């Protein structure tokens, strides 16, 4: 095993993913080498089959970042402390506690380690193929799937953390330190490049087994190309930390990727908590846990309050009977009371919970969208807005879920109206699907409440491994609001 003191070789990255720390300086002579683990084509395919499942688990884990991204973006509300949901939604906002002994330090560490578990496996697979391990007719499929996995996880890193370490079969960082880590913009560019490679490798026909993707049916190479394009659009459109960076996005590239993207929902088939389970979304919607933030309820029915005052005398709002957005009646359940703790802030209260996926979550068995066609359509529309094709954007939005499910009136080809319509759909239609979508939306429009981190620091336990000095760097808190690392704007 490679040593990690002030370096971060791939073997050390695997050690991080497995939770090692003190053992990093000790070589384990009984540990099988990568050459032994990836010795045959069957060995390589077996590992390759786990890549997307590993990425999905790290994104949707109860112990990861999914839940606090939802509460910190005022998409979901919850006063329970679990996995930093409350700590990241205090009003006013607090800084992220990046201490190794913080109760929920494991949320960012779980997510970080999950990223590198996929990165290490993909690299080992690519190296095995370079060594000459015979993959037969499946070589291009396996290589494309590795590049897809690298694109997805490095994209997740760029969207959530301020920096990261880019390593693959061609790139190593023998003397890396946190100070020399790649910026989130560099990580995002690398992620998109991996997806570009996956697209090129997918020109030859192949079929990806449904078990690899968690889907109801196998995936053809042409549908896989569409998914890669959509993933690239997701990364590029969501990486901005503020409105200034939003204006700097290469929207022509986003448009090209989204236009070549998915034409139907990419849906995971949960399998009774075995391999495929949108665990965090289940907790965010289960009765007694997360509830829908009033910010979102107000979007669907402006007669509902936009914010619950922090007061015991705030009147409980009645149920909506004829909201402009009819999804409030179909996708949400009215609540006449709440189990949330008033001593932790009445502002956490809500009179609705998301119920759209109750049938699937009842037994953790059934479909749950990971990347909706509606999400890709919104990237198509958003790119056109910022490329000044307002009529084209309006056509896409008015043909989408805003109309078909929400039964809302058509939006005019006016820039600010279109931006608001996209904002509305991301909070309502995309709720409880892909990782952090409402957070990324609020972030790039300067709508996160003042003091909310715009991204998260490298995890405390990872910084410990590098022998960094306490206190570790962090972001967030009203006093640190700079608009670069911590929100200095906010919708309220």
Read off the pLDDT of residues 144-159 as tens digits, 9 standing for 90 and up: 999 999 999 999 999 9
Q: What is the pLDDT of the chain when averaged over all its residues?
A: 94
Question: Is residue 2's pLDDT more than 50?
Answer: no
Average pLDDT over residues 98-122: 98
Question: What was the pLDDT predicted at 15?
Answer: 52
Question: Is residue 403's pLDDT more than 50?
Answer: yes
d(CA 218, CA 211): 8
Query: Confidence band (pLDDT; 50, 70, 90) for 28?
Result: low
Question: Is residue 326's pLDDT more than 70?
Answer: yes
Question: Is residue 208's pLDDT more than 50?
Answer: yes
Question: What was the pLDDT predicted at 136?
Answer: 96
Question: Is residue 25's pLDDT more than 90?
Answer: no
- Contacts (Cβ under 8 Å, ≥6 apart) of 313: none
Q: What is the pLDDT of residues 311-322, one digit of tens each?
A: 999 999 999 999
Question: Is residue 255's pLDDT more than 60?
Answer: yes
Average pLDDT over residues 67-87: 98
Q: Which of 376, 309, 301, 320 is nearest to 342 (CA)?
A: 309
In this structure, the number of other CB atoms found within 10 A of the CB of residue 287 comes to 12
Question: What was the pLDDT predicted at 26?
Answer: 40
d(CA 387, CA 256): 12
Question: Is residue 415's pLDDT more than 90?
Answer: yes
Q: What is the pLDDT of residues 482-492, one digit of tens each?
A: 999 999 999 99
Could you tell me what percent of the chain has a pLDDT over 70?
Answer: 94
């Amino acid at each position: 095993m490679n040593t990690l003191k002030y370096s971060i070789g791939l073997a050390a990255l695997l050690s991080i993913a497995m939770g090692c720390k003190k053992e990093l300086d000790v070589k384990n002579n009984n540990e099988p080498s990568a050459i032994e683990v990836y010795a045959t084509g069957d060995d390589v395919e077996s590992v390759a089959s786990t890549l997307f499942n590993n990425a999905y688990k790290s994104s949707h884990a109860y112990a990861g970042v999914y839940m606090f991204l939802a509460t910190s973006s005022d998409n979901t509300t919850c006063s329970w402390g679990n996995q930093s949901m409350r700590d990241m939604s205090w009003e006013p906002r607090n800084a992220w506690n990046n201490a190794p002994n913080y109760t929920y330090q494991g949320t960012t560490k779980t997510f970080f380690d999950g990223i590198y578990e996929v990165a290490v496996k993909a690299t080992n697979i690519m190296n095995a193929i370079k060594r000459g391990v015979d993959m037969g007719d499946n070589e291009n499929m396996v290589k494309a799937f590795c590049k897809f996995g690298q694109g997805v996880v490095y994209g997740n890193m760029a969207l959530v953390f301020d920096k990261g370490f880019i390593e693959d079969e061609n790139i190593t960082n023998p003397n890396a330190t946190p100070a020399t880590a790649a910026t989130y913009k560099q990580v995002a560019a690398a992620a998109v490049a991996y997806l570009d490679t996956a697209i090129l490798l997918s020109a030859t026909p192949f079929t990806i087994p449904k078990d690899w993707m968690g889907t109801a049916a196998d995936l053809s190479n042409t549908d896989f190309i569409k998914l890669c394009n959509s993933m690239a659009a997701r990364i590029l459109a969501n990486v901005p930390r503020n409105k200034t960076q939003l204006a700097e996005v290469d929207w022509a590239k986003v448009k090209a990727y989204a236009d070549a993207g998915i034409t139907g929902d990419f849906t995971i088939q949960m399998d009774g908590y075995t391999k495929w389970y949108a665990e965090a979304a289940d907790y965010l919607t289960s009765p007694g846990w997360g509830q829908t933030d009033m910010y979102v309820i107000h979007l669907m029915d402006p007669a509902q309050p936009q914010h619950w005052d922090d007061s015991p005398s705030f009147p409980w709002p009645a149920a909506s009977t004829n909201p402009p957005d009819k999804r409030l009646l179909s996708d949400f359940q009215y609540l006449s009371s709440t189990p949330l703790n008033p001593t932790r802030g009445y502002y956490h209260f809500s009179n609705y919970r998301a119920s759209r996926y109750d049938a699937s979550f009842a037994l953790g068995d059934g479909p749950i969208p990971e990347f909706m066609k509606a999400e890709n359509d919104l990237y198509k529309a958003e790119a056109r807005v910022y490329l000044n094709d307002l009529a084209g954007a309006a056509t896409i939005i008015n043909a989408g879920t805003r109309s078909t499910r929400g039964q809302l009136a058509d939006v005019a080809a006016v820039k600010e109206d279109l931006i608001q319509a996209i904002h509305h759909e991301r909070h309502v239609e995309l709720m409880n699907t892909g990782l952090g979508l409402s957070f990324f939306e609020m972030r790039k429009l300067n709508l996160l409440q003042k003091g909310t981190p715009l991204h998260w620091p490298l995890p405390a336990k990872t910084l410990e491994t590098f022998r960094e000095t306490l206190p570790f760097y962090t972001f967030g808190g009203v006093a640190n609001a700079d608009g670069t690392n911590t929100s200095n704007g906010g919708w309220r």
